[in-house]
Amino acid sequence: MSLKIVMIGSGYVGLVSGTCFADFGHSVTCVDIDAEKIERLKQGEIPIFEPGLDILVQSNTEAGRLSFTTDLATAVSEADVVFIAVGTPSRRGDGHADLRYVYDAARSVAMSLKGFTVIVTKSTVPVGTGDEVDRLVRETNPEADFSVVSNPEFLREGAAIDDFRRPDRVVVGTTEERAIQVIQEVYRPLSLNEAPLMFTDRRTAELIKYAGNAFLAMKITFINEVADLCEKVGADVQAVARGIGHDNRIGKKFLHAGPGYGGSCFPKDTLALVKTGQDNESPLRLVETTVAVNDQRKRAMARRVVAACGGEVRGLTISLLGLTFKPNTDDMRDAPSISIVQGLLDAGARIRAYDPEGTSQAKKIFDGIEYADDAYSAASNADCVVLITEWNEFRSIDLHRLGKLMATPRLVDLRNVYLPAEMKAAGFQYTSIGRGSSGAAVADKAS
């Protein structure tokens, strides 16, 4: 059965989710207060980079299943389900999730409800937010017939469409039978993939999202600290990661040493969970430490580059490959590159950078750096190349060509994309993450 779905918020989560629901066969209207963004979407212009999203938006728009509007009232009045997918950034000053956009959306929805409607919080929100949404809707429209459900998203930027279509699980926070039946219908197409719908109470669903992201952030931070130890004792962090990752209790994912986590989720979600624990007198010490260690690590990466250059970068040209927090996205939010660029600029370096998709977003953040059109032009006459984001195109770089273009063939690999042996053969001074002297030999043999 096709449902009428409204998605409030046409940012990353809202646009991807709304488009995928339309692809399921539902009639979806994406609503946003940004009239310029809505007009661009109507013209087929996608405001974010996500592989395959432009094609999916086009096909579902042409099929009449997906539309865009600023008219919230009309859209909500006709809806069976309304998803709230607005931003919940960290609140300036205290780190709590800023819920003003969620609550504003709830009030607006309340004024336009007609008939039984399921209101779903898709935004990442702290425990108890659904209760407040419920209260606000009842306060605004006492006659409304509705149910508030928590349905957190678990989409990886760069792989969001596949994640939506083939999820590990779909978490749904509600105990109301009418709402359960509607949500089952919303996600019915996933039954072909046997994706588990996990129904729980609303508060538990809200906490599952934060707990999941915090656990993954801790896993990343753990392997980064192990990488530092590997450098001190002459071990190889990649071999360590493989060795522990084969243990099913630990798993292989999120054990890649690097410059620290960034992005739209982990930094703000870990901080929000820390604040929730403190507010409820149940501090989460492991998560608190994870936040602190990750912040320190990102700042330390610039010092690592300076050390690789002999302890001084003033007047040197440093080439950065990759600026976004991960590949296959243009998202610069809390990217490690931000701390690295600032640290190198403070040390007196000249910066030239290249990113396949992130340049336009980076220009909104950085002042005083130069941008290149490809990796080779970025490296031309550079004193050091720093690989920050592991875009696939960087894995196939002609290292001999790159080295000949540089003033000094020196490369700092913050993602361990290259093997020490191949870098030595190409004539590079090479620095990577968590590979001690004996560890480098192990990595070469393993490959």
The enclosing domain of 415 has a CATH number of 3.40.50.720
User: What is the pLDDT, as a whole number, of residue 94?
Assistant: 82
Chain segment 294-340, per-residue pLDDT in tens: 999 999 999 999 999 999 999 999 999 999 999 999 999 999 999 99
The pLDDT, as a whole number, for residue 445 is 36
Same domain? For 78 and 127 the reply is: yes
* 276 and 365, same domain (yes or no): yes
Q: Which of 37-51, 53-67, 90-104, 227-241 is the least confident region?
A: 90-104
Reported confidence tier of residue 85, pLDDT bands at 50, 70, 90:
very high
118 and 243 housed in the same domain: no
Question: Is residue 265 among the annotated active site residues?
Answer: yes
Indicate whether 266 belongs to any domain.
yes
85 found inside a domain: yes
- pLDDT reading at 278 higher than 80: yes
Instruction: Choose among 332, 323, 336, 327: nearest CA to 433.
Output: 336
- The pLDDT of residue 95 is 83
Q: What are phi and psi of 287, to 5 degrees?
A: -70, -40
Q: Are residues 377 and 433 in the same domain?
A: yes
Residues 104 and 222 in one domain: no
**Is residue 206 in a domain?**
no
**Percent of the chain at pLDDT above 70?**
97
pLDDT digit string (tens) for 413-444?
Answer: 999 999 999 999 999 999 999 998 543 433 33
| Overall domain count for the chain | 2
Same domain, 192 and 272: no
Whether the per-residue pLDDT at 267 is higher than 60: the answer is: yes
pLDDT at 84: 98
Mean pLDDT of all residues in 245-271:
96
From 144, 169, 200, the end of a domain falls on 200
Q: Mean pLDDT over residues 234-261, rounded? A: 97
The reply to whether 230 falls in a domain is yes
Please compute the mean of the pLDDT values over residues 152-161 and round it to a whole number.
95
Among the ranges given (191-205, 210-224, 244-258, 323-337), the one the predictor scored with the smallest mean pLDDT: 191-205
Question: Are 424 and 278 in the same domain?
Answer: yes
Shared domain for 196 and 275, answered yes or no, is no
Residue 317: domain span: 211-446
Query: Is residue 380 one of the residues assigned to a domain?
Result: yes
Same domain? 165 vs 215: no
| In a domain? residue 296 | yes
172 and 218 share one domain: no
- Averaged confidence pLDDT in the chain: 95
The pLDDT assigned to 437 comes to 59
How far is Cα of residue 209 from the mean position of the Cα atoms in its chain? Answer: 13
| Domain-embedded: residue 205 | no
Q: Which of 20, 230, 265, 309 is catalytic?
A: 265
pLDDT surpassing 80 at residue 406 = yes
Asked whether the predicted pLDDT for residue 144 surpasses 90, the reply is yes
What is the value of pTM for the model shown? 0.92
> 340-389, pLDDT tens digit by residue?
999 999 999 999 999 999 999 999 999 999 999 999 999 999 999 999 99
pLDDT above 50: residue 210? yes
**Adjacency order of strands within the sheet including 317-321:** 370-371, 350-354, 317-321, 384-387, 410-413, 429-431
What is the model's pLDDT at position 442?
36
* pLDDT computed for residue 443 by the predictor: 36
Do 196 and 243 share a domain, yes or no?
A: no
Higher pLDDT, 222 or 446: 222
Q: Which of 200, 233, 254 finishes a domain?
A: 200
Q: Is residue 304 part of a domain?
A: yes
Q: Are residues 176 and 265 in the same domain?
A: no
- In the listed set 200, 235, 258, which residue is the last one of a domain according to the structure? 200
